[in-house]
Amino acid sequence: MFEGRGYQLEIAPAFHWSLKTDILAHTARAAACQILGEQVLPSKGTLDNDSAFAATSFPIAHVRAAFPALNRPPGFVFFDNAAGAQIPQIVLDAVNHHLLECNVQRGGRYAKSQEVDATIVRARKSVADLVNARDPSEIAFGMNATSFIRMVSLAIGQALGARNEIVLTDMDHEANVATWLILERFGAKFSWWKMREDGLLHAGDLVPLLSSRTRLVACTLASNAIGSIVDVAAAAEVTHRAGAEIFLDAVHYAPHGLIDVRAFDCDYLACSGYKIFAPHMGFLWGRRELLQSLPTFREDFIPDEPPGKIEAGTFIYENVAGMDAAVRYLEELGKLLSPGDIAVSRRAALQHALTAIQKYEQSLTLGMLEVLNRCGATVYGITDKGRVHHRVPTLCFNVPKIPPAKVTEKLASANIGVRDGHMYAPRLMKRLGLSTNSGAVRASLVHYNTPDEVREFGATLDEIKRSC
Ligand SMILES: Cc1ncc(COP(=O)(O)O)c(C=O)c1O
């Protein structure tokens, strides 16, 4: 028996997520969809407009059962996913397996070491599939996204020449701003691609900022503060027309939508595993020819070839094993959602999973907008219900006359985890007219959050408003 918040259901052991369980067998899948299809119906809600939670065929009960941390008492509504998500059992198992069975250095001639080598090769292929890279050698593993952005900025800073202008946005996380601003000491000049009042960055506004002096545009795929999605393919097109390169920060977007470096036509992309259901680690994708020419630090005996030339020292193998399993988690979810298609490719399965996630998350966004609107909160960014496809379920708001820290403290005492502050996007806070000291409250949801949790959040917020 799985007891979620606000709902209870039976899950047959066969439907628990497990490496060993062949849930993807066609008949099992069909049965699972049927069973889960009944289970996913949201419980009767108290929202004014329950259509906000239009029942999708998203297997939410199955998803939640896959994440052990979500099922441990006491009940807890976790709406701080933008700071790091929970991990499914399949990822725990992979990390555990690595530490128990092959916690050794790679590159040895003995079996355990060879297993580490094999894990890294497999993980590189998995992440290459996740981002649609042309080749696994375009994927580098490391500590986190920030250190990769800095590594590329250091390399680019050494070779600015006459193309010394860098375009930054006022919407980005500071990790994709400060890492470039530091190139001022190498003669870099900066211009700012600004968000419009509609909460979006428009590629048309980028055009006048570009010239034959532009070296690079650095922008996010989605705002970690207000959730807006950026049309990065359009940005890449105008950037390339000017002969410049585009560096994408995929950290906030990755758990919410499909990454496709070929469709985006970007040049570099950095991401963090811990935002996408893996442990703490980061990865970088770059066009192979660019990575090849990038000057990086490496010891003499490391060939000047990606990915080795970008991975100085030892990275955390168990977390890379976890990242590989996180891709498998998404793949298996996609296969579960691919009716009748037993031979679906991994990339197609990932596409199914992330398309379904996006759709389900849009219903969560609608629910969040509704409860925030009902309690009179000021929501920053896209609030128009007809435009929810331009955002992810990351809601930044303030409740009139109640400081953000007080709202999050009160929510915390009701076992609801959200965050307050500048969200590491101080320029965006200023742009929104907010103090960078107090900022705003951010509730950030992912696909394992539920309509019931949204209702509970809304009811608690109403109560806070009444009592303050
Ligand atoms: C949009 C965005 N970019 C970059 C980062 C930094 O990522 P990391 O902690 O992997 O360096 C974060 C972290 O929250 C983020 O949300």
pLDDT tens, 24-58? 333 333 333 332 332 322 233 333 343 344 445 89
Atom of ligand 1 nearest to the CA of 252: 1
Ligand 1 mutation pick, 143, 146, 223, 248, max ligand atoms within 8 A of CB: 146
Atom of ligand 1 nearest to the CA of 222: 1
What is the Cα 229 distance to its own chain's centre? Answer: 12
Ligand 1 centre distance from Cα of residue 335 (Å): 29
The predicted pLDDT at position 194 comes to 98
What token pair was written down for 346?
């991994």
Give the list of residues 6+ apart from residue 100 with CB closer than 8 angstroms, or none: none
- Asked if 42 and 451 touch (Cβ cutoff 8 Å), the reply is yes
What is the Cα 120 distance to its own chain's centre? Answer: 22
Give yes or no for residue 272 CB within 6 A of ligand 1. yes
Rounded to whole angstroms, the Cα distance separating 283 from 179 reads 16
Ligand 1 mutation pick, 247, 272, 392, max ligand atoms within 8 A of CB: 272
Rounded to whole angstroms, the Cα distance separating 274 from 286 reads 20
Ligand 1 centre distance from Cα of residue 251 (Å): 6
Ligand 1 mutation pick, 141, 173, 256, max ligand atoms within 8 A of CB: 173
Atom of ligand 1 nearest to the CA of 280: 10
Ligand 1 mutation pick, 249, 256, 419, max ligand atoms within 8 A of CB: 249
Give yes or no for residue 251 CB within 6 A of ligand 1. yes
Instruction: Tell me if the bond preceding 74 is cis, omega within 30° of 0.
Output: yes
Instruction: For residue 252, give the nearest of 155, 312, 128, 169 by alpha carbon.
Output: 169
What token pair was written down for 108?
């040895």
Dihedral Cα 368, 369, 375, 381, nearest 10 deg = 120
The predicted pLDDT at position 370 comes to 97
Ligand 1 centre distance from Cα of residue 442 (Å): 15
Ligand 1 mutation pick, 148, 149, 224, max ligand atoms within 8 A of CB: 224
Ligand 1 centre distance from Cα of residue 30 (Å): 38
The predicted pLDDT at position 30 comes to 34
pTM exceeding the 0.95 threshold for the entire prediction: no
Rounded to whole angstroms, the Cα distance separating 111 from 102 reads 9
Ligand 1 mutation pick, 147, 252, 315, 323, max ligand atoms within 8 A of CB: 252
- Asked if 68 and 16 touch (Cβ cutoff 8 Å), the reply is no
What token pair was written down for 198?
């509609």
Give yes or no for residue 282 CB within 6 A of ligand 1. yes
Give yes or no for residue 144 CB within 6 A of ligand 1. yes
Give yes or no for residue 175 CB within 6 A of ligand 1. yes
Atom of ligand 1 nearest to the CA of 146: 11
Mean pLDDT in runs of 10 for the chain (468 residues)?
Answer: 32 31 34 31 34 63 97 96 98 98 98 98 98 98 98 95 96 98 97 97 98 98 98 98 98 98 98 98 98 93 95 96 98 90 88 96 98 97 97 98 98 98 96 95 98 98 93
Give yes or no for residue 224 CB within 6 A of ligand 1. yes
Give yes or no for residue 249 CB within 6 A of ligand 1. yes
Atom of ligand 1 nearest to the CA of 143: 10
The predicted pLDDT at position 56 comes to 57
Rounded to whole angstroms, the Cα distance separating 333 from 336 reads 5
Closest C-alpha to ligand 1, atom 12: 251
The predicted pLDDT at position 2 comes to 30
Rounded to whole angstroms, the Cα distance separating 338 from 398 reads 40
Report the 3 state secondary structure along the chain.
Answer: CEEECCEEECCCHHHCCCCCCCCCCHHHHHHHHHHHHHHCCCCCCCCCCHHHHCCCCCCHHHHHHCCHHHHCCCCCEECEHHHCCCCCHHHHHHHHHHHHHCCCCCCCCCHHHHHHHHHHHHHHHHHHHHHCCCCHHHEEEECCHHHHHHHHHHHHHCCCCCCCEEEEECCCCHHHCHHHHHHHHHCCEEEEECCCCCCCCCHHHHHHHCCCCEEEEEEECECCCCCEECCHHHHHHHHHHCCCEEEEECCCCCCCCCCCHHHHCCCEEEEEHHHCCCCCCEEEEECHHHHHHCCCCCCCCCCCCCCHHHCCCCCCHHHHHHHHHHHHHHHHHHHHCCCCCCCCCHHHHHHHHHHHHHHHHHHHHHHHHHHHHHCCCEEECCCCHHHHHHECCEEEEEECCECHHHHHHHHHHCCEECEEECCCCHHHHHHCCCCCCCEEEEEECCCCCCHHHHHHHHHHHHHHHHHC
Atom of ligand 1 nearest to the CA of 223: 1
Give yes or no for residue 129 CB within 6 A of ligand 1. no
